[in-house]
Amino acid sequence: MRITKLFPGSVRGGHAVPDRGSCIRGLFPLAALMLCLSTLSGCDRVTRYQTLSTLFDGVPNLPPVEELCREERDRSAQADQSGQNKQGAASAKDEPVVMVSHAPYAQKRCSDCHGADKDKQGGLIVPRQELCFVCHKDFLKGEFQHGPAAVGDCLACHAPHSSSNKALLIVKKEVLCSRCHKEERLAQAMHDRFRDKGIACVECHDPHAGRDRFFLK
C-alpha cells in the first residue's frame, strides 16, 4: 500500500507522521486572518471596507453617501434608544435623559463633514484631526492647549453625532476627565473636596486651551 503524505513529515511503520512544526506554521496565516477580522469587527463601516478591499478582491462596494448616512443615522438612533431604555430603569433621582444632537447631523447636512470619496480620508472632507476646526475655529485660542484638542482628537471627549450628555460629551462631565487623568494631582485634598460636592473639572478648568498650564478660567 502506498502512503500519501498529507502534511510535511516522514513515514514510520507504514504510517505518515506529519511534521508538527510545519503544521503549526501553516496555521499562522489563518490565525492572523481571524485576528484581523476580529479587530475589524469593532471598526466603522468605511474602515472595514478600506481594509478588506485592500486585502481581498470582490469586496462589495459601499452604498452611495446618502444611503450610508441614512443607515448611520438609523444605527445611531437605535443605539440611543437602547441607552435610553437602560437608563429608564435608573432611580427617579437621576436626571431625565435628553438627547443632544450635533447641528449638521440633526439637520441631515452630512456633506458638511463627509465627502463623496469614501476611500479618501475615511470619507471625510478633510483629515479627521482637522475636521472640527473647519467650523470651531476659536477653540484653541490660548498659549497652553489641552493635548487631545491640540492634536484634533476631539472624539476623545465628544461624540460626532448625538449624545445623552451636554456638549456631546461621551460620558457625564463629572467623570470625563478621570478617564485619562488618573495620576496623583496637585492639591489632591482640595480637588477631592470639589469632587465630593459634584463639582466637575470644567467648572474651573478650560478643557481646550488656556492662559496658564493648568487651563484655569
Residue 52 lies in a domain: no
How many structural domains is the chain composed of? 1
Predicted confidence at residue 165, as pLDDT, reads 93
Predicted confidence at residue 154, as pLDDT, reads 94
Summary count for the chain: helices (H), strands (E): 8, 6
Residue 164 lies in a domain: yes
Note the pLDDT tens digit of each residue in 94-143.
566 788 999 999 999 999 999 888 777 778 999 999 999 999 988 888 88
Residue 190 lies in a domain: yes
- Grid cell of 86 as nine digits: 437602560
pTM over 0.95: no
Residue 167 lies in a domain: yes
Q: Could you give the CA distance from residue 211 to residue 205 in angstroms, rounded to a whole number?
A: 11
Residue 74 lies in a domain: no
Residue 11 lies in a domain: no
Q: Which of 94, 146, 104 shows the shortest CA–CA distance to 125?
A: 104
Residue 15 lies in a domain: no
Predicted confidence at residue 214, as pLDDT, reads 87
Predicted confidence at residue 160, as pLDDT, reads 93
Note the pLDDT tens digit of each residue in 22-56.
555 556 666 666 666 655 555 566 666 667 777 77
147 half-sphere exposure, CB direction, 13 A CA radius: 4
Residue 159 lies in a domain: yes
Domain residue limits at 177: 100-210
Note the pLDDT tens digit of each residue in 135-188.
998 888 888 999 999 999 999 999 999 999 999 999 999 889 888 887 666 567
Q: Could you give the CA distance from residue 79 to residue 99 in angstroms, rounded to a whole number?
A: 12
